[in-house]
Amino acid sequence: MQVSNRYRLVEPIGEGGMGVVWRAYDELLDRTVAIKEVRYTGVGDAKRAELNRRTIREARAAGRLDHPSVVVIHDVVEEDGRPWIVMQLVRSRSLAQVIRESGPLRTAQVAVIGGRVLDALRAAHATGVLHRDVKPENVLLADDGRVVLTDFGIASMETEAGLTATGGLVGTPAYMPPERLNGEPARPESDLWSLGATLYAAVEGEAPFKRDSWAATVAAVLRDEPGRPVRAGALEPVIMGLLRRLPAARMTAEEAARLLHEAASETTALRPADGATHDMTSVRRRGRARWIAVGAVAVLGAGGVLLFSQFLTPPPAGSPSTPTASAAAPSPEPSPEPSTEPSTEPTKEPSKEPTREATATPSAAQVPGGWRPYTSTAGRFSIALPDRWQAKKNPQRDSISFTGPGSPGAMIVEWTVPDLPWRDPVKHWAALEKEIKDKGEFERYTRIGITPVDYLGRQAADWEFTRVRGGVLIHVINRGFHTADGRPYALYWETPHSRWERDRRYFEAFAKTFRPR
């Protein structure tokens, strides 16, 4: 069967209360995709048409989201009287499947998963999109190491009330907050309650209000207090804070992000929890989810920043190149194009910001002459770019590379949450350096320094080194740090060593104008 004369259905790969998910082949773009066939049963024609309109509208709303932990929606079509949502096929296992097959997860694992799902929710909420069905079945642990929140098919634009108000109960009662079961509209706090229930299930093995029947589960959510989790450890405060009955009393997303980061960073959380039946290596062995992508292909930096690809052929001598986030490979020769270096020399030291982080875009005084502000919604940051420099999002990683005329160098900003959390950026860089040296990854690697710095009022570290790649000596500086709510960033600059003295000013200007949002 074909949908829209383009998508050939191959096989069903999942089924739920609102339809079937198919593996399909996009014959126009020659790629495999997932298609959700949305089915509404037991309703009249008028009601079905209304529900179809709602689904299409809300899928398009979700399709506007640009976040590495949100499944990509490619297309929305209507055929045979029902909607079909065409999505990125994420090769993965769901968190629910992992719990069923392997039992409760370790605290540190759940903290990392929860942090990524929360980051996706915060990005969605910032654009007015609510998920309304956060649960382990909709959290995917992807083969490429990502944690992806899927099934925004019943999401609702905050500012577009109406169609959903007349519909029936949509969602899974064990993961639905009390206000939703009482008939109140969904709100961002509702997704946070569902996240708390999901985290509870991940560390305990089952949902906090799971009962023997649908009605008993609904009654428990409405009247009972959640039982204290016995395996949660450092996660207990955030779980119980998110499961508060009144939305106004519920823990905020910002506080939850901070606590999840702290829980993920606890070294004691890396030990098996009482009753846990597996560790993160066993998750990879029993399924296909890969949690740490450090190996022969790439070396990861702060927050997982992809430093170098080992399988790329260097450009021919004398030819300019455009570095990408996966390669960051400058050409051996300077670019012949005219320089667009800053017209004023940036400060040689990072700006001393107050302890409270700046969240606005760089001010006019901070942006060098000839540069312009740039904002990344996916990365939740702003930075200034030289004239005619372009941004390129890495489709496989949480990073953006910036390149342009005037220098063969590349600036990369990455915000990937690491699978092995860290607190001290100096120790983190030193550990990564040791791993690189032990594996012999870099030819003629020479450390220049791993230096602690105060950056935007936060503890950070600059790792500076040289190495040979493709016969060219390159010079690198990489700044790693966390924001107050636990988001890791790496600001990575590299250029041929012969260009270092004249090109370092680019890194200084990038770092001076970078602002998390």
State pLDDT tens for residues 176-233. Answer: 999 999 888 889 999 999 999 999 999 999 999 999 888 899 999 999 999 899 999 9
Distant-in-sequence, close-in-space partners of 12: CB < 8 Å, separation ≥ 6 = 20, 21, 22, 23
- pLDDT for residue 309 is more than 60: no
Rg (CA), the chain: 24
CA dihedral 244, 245, 248, 249 (to 10 degrees): -40
- pLDDT for residue 17 is more than 80: no
- pLDDT for residue 450 is more than 90: yes
pLDDT number for residue 439: 83
- pLDDT for residue 152 is more than 50: yes
The H or E element that residue 390 is part of is: strand 390-393
Closest CA relative to residue 384, chosen from 408, 411, 414, 347: 411
* 272 in Cβ contact with 283 (< 8 Å): no
pLDDT number for residue 270: 36
Instruction: Tell the CATH topology of 2-88.
Output: Phosphorylase Kinase; domain 1 (3.30.200)
- How much is the mean pLDDT over the chain? 77
Distant-in-sequence, close-in-space partners of 261: CB < 8 Å, separation ≥ 6 = 111, 115, 421, 482, 485, 486, 487
Residue range 94-118, pLDDT digits in tens: 999 999 988 999 998 899 999 999 9
Domain boundaries, the chain: 2-88, 92-286, 298-516
Instruction: Tell the CATH topology of 92-286.
Output: Transferase(Phosphotransferase); domain 1 (1.10.510)
What is the C-alpha separation between 114 and 247, in angstroms, rounded?
19
The answer as to CATH 3.40.1000.10 being correct for domain 298-516 is yes
What is the C-alpha separation between 219 and 223, in angstroms, rounded?
6
Pairing verdict, β 458-469 and 443-455: antiparallel
pLDDT classification of 386: cutoffs 50, 70, 90: very high
- pLDDT for residue 5 is more than 70: yes
- pLDDT for residue 244 is more than 90: yes
Q: Give the three-state DSSP class for 243.
A: coil
What is the C-alpha separation between 489 and 516, in angstroms, rounded?
9
Residue range 458-513, pLDDT digits in tens: 999 999 999 998 889 999 999 999 988 778 899 999 999 999 999 999 999 999 99
Distant-in-sequence, close-in-space partners of 495: CB < 8 Å, separation ≥ 6 = 330, 407, 408, 409, 410, 474, 475, 503, 506
Catalytic positions are 133
Closest CA relative to residue 380, chosen from 402, 407, 406, 398: 398
Give the best-scoring range by mean pLDDT among 209-218, 263-272, 283-292.
Answer: 209-218
User: Which residues are 489's β-sheet partners?
Assistant: 481
User: Which residues are 473's β-sheet partners?
Assistant: 468
CA end-to-end span of the chain, whole Å?
A: 46
Distant-in-sequence, close-in-space partners of 177: CB < 8 Å, separation ≥ 6 = 189, 190, 193, 194, 221, 247
User: Which residues are 481's β-sheet partners?
Assistant: 460, 489
What is the C-alpha separation between 112 and 223, in angstroms, rounded?
31
Average pLDDT for 10-33: 86
What is the C-alpha separation between 36 and 330, in angstroms, rounded?
42
* Length reported for the chain: 517
Statement: the pTM of the whole predicted model exceeds 0.75:
no
